[in-house]
Amino acid sequence: EQKQSLKEKRKAAQEVRDTAAELLNLYAIRRTREGIRFKIDPADYQAFREGFAFDETPDQSTAINAVVDDMTSGKSMDRLVCGDVGFGKTEVALRAAFIAAMSGRQVAVLCPTTLLAEQHAATFRDRFRAWPVTVAELSRFRTGKESAKVLAGLADGTVDIVIGTHKLLTDKVSFKHLGLVIIDEEHRFGVRQKETLRKLRAEVDVLTLTATPIPRTLSMSLEGIRDFSVIATAPERRLAVKTFVHAEEPGLIREAVIRELKRGGQVYFLHNEVETIENRREQLAALIPEARIAVAHGQMSERELEHIMREFYQQRYNLLLCTTIIETGIDVPTANTIIMQRADKLGLAQLHQLR
């Protein structure tokens, strides 16, 4: 047993060394290789910029300008943009996608979950509606026929921007003129998927968005292997998140939920055990009969989950009893309270992301 353990340790250490050497080699190649020099039409870019319904925060402007400089300079971009949910990372991605698509290059947007892919697809379609740019989605929610059509469009160049889950990293997907890959929450992808991403990195510009900078990604940025932008200023009129740590009390739960419901808002109640989630639903229904409760967890079928999340988004329910399936940051503007049951069982990055 001890021999086996030593053998495994040696193998793991070897793999770590191989990965580190491969990464350094990859970044060295990127530094020496001429990247894609994207062209920007100032009038078009200004028109697209005006489609943004909010004022840019100073940090957001800095991040956008850094991305524009990277893409027009001819060097291969590998930039990490870090900022909380709702701080405007998506707009940075939209501007980058616009520059690439208007330069005749294809864009791939990678999301860790189907729900997030769907939300990004809706945002991208909305912003590109007035432009000669085709936006498609590739995820489990699309039928075989729809997926085949998207794959054909990527291969012949008729699809300009594709938004999808890890399905984008399979052998079936081939691009005609891929120029930019945007990765949302890279740390949520598995080892095999990272391998594919690493190969892509050698050839195209990469923009990574994250709300949770895990140590490895962050250290690569600080060591200068990757460029780094932080969006730390909250948008105007956005209040700081207040966090309360308290022993569980039914009275406190009722008070927090009722306060949110009275102002027309919605609540997430995080209960991260699928086996006991129905019991919790009964307790909450008895405690807060005023609430319209829905349940969401990862063991549901995709269709059912999609249906519930849509209905929650449309405010047919005002309390979503759920597992950590919500942590990938789908944006529900009226959900302003989250109650995390047994927070001590969650990791720090997870808690930060959920918050």
9 pLDDT above the threshold of 60: yes
Q: Which amino acid is at 179?
A: G
pLDDT of residue 25: 67
347, exposed or middle or buried, with CB in 10 Å at 0-12, 13-18, 19+? exposed
The model's pLDDT over 84-99, given as tens digits with 9 standing for 90+, comes to 777 889 999 999 999 9
Which is higher by pLDDT, 320 or 354? 320
The model's pLDDT over 275-289, given as tens digits with 9 standing for 90+, comes to 999 999 999 999 999
Cβ(211)–Cβ(138) below 8 Å: no
pLDDT of residue 195: 67
166 pLDDT above the threshold of 90: no
Give the residue-averaged pLDDT of 330-347.
81
- DSSP state letters, 123-142: HHHHHTTTTT--EEEESTTS
Q: Place 44 in a pLDDT band, splitting at 50, 70 and 90.
A: very high
The model's pLDDT over 126-164, given as tens digits with 9 standing for 90+, comes to 999 999 999 999 987 778 888 999 999 999 999 999 999
Instruction: For 38-54, give one letter per residue: b (16+ CB within 10 A) or e.
Output: bebeeeeeeebeeeeee
- Distance, in Å, from the CA atom of 274 to the CA atom of 303, rounded to the nearest integer, reads 18
**Residue-averaged pLDDT of the chain:** 83
Which residues pair with residue 145 across a beta bridge? none
Cα dihedral 124/94/307/305 (nearest 10)? 140
CA 55 remoteness from chain centre = 22
304 pLDDT above the threshold of 60: yes
- With CA atoms as reference, report the closest residue to 81 among 185, 182, 209, 186: 209
Taking phi over 0 as left and psi of -120 to 50 as alpha, with beta for the rest, 329 belongs to left
Q: Which amino acid is at 205?
A: D
The model's pLDDT over 211-236, given as tens digits with 9 standing for 90+, comes to 876 555 555 555 455 677 887 777 76
Which is higher by pLDDT, 201 or 297? 297
296 pLDDT above the threshold of 70: yes
Which is higher by pLDDT, 23 or 182? 182
- Distance, in Å, from the CA atom of 83 to the CA atom of 89, rounded to the nearest integer, reads 7
